[in-house]
Amino acid sequence: MSSQEPARVSVRILEKEYFVACPYEERSALLDSAEYLNKRMREIRDSGKVVGLDRIAVMVALNLAHELMT
């Protein structure tokens, strides 16, 4: 496969499968990122304080944005 052709990568986040295109050489980083996101989303979901996939995703996004800004 040429490095110019995007790879189609399957990731699972909270038991849902998503297919994401990325540069072939970045597959491993994408999988690591998805695993990290899944872990963070599970932590929020398992706390029982936030219900609903969209709300969990927003809470994780806000937490990650806060971490990046501090």
Using one digit for the tens of pLDDT, what is the confidence trace for 1-44?
555 789 999 999 999 999 999 999 999 999 999 999 999 999 99
Amino acid in position 56: I
H or E element in which residue 50 lies: none
Q: Are 36 and 16 in contact (CB under 8 A)?
A: no
Q: How many CA atoms lie within 13 A of 63 on its CB side?
A: 11
Question: What global pTM score does this model have?
Answer: 0.85
For residue 15, give every residue at least 6 positions away whose Cβ sits within 8 Å of its Cβ, in sequence order, or none: none
**Is 63 in a helix, a strand, or coil?**
helix
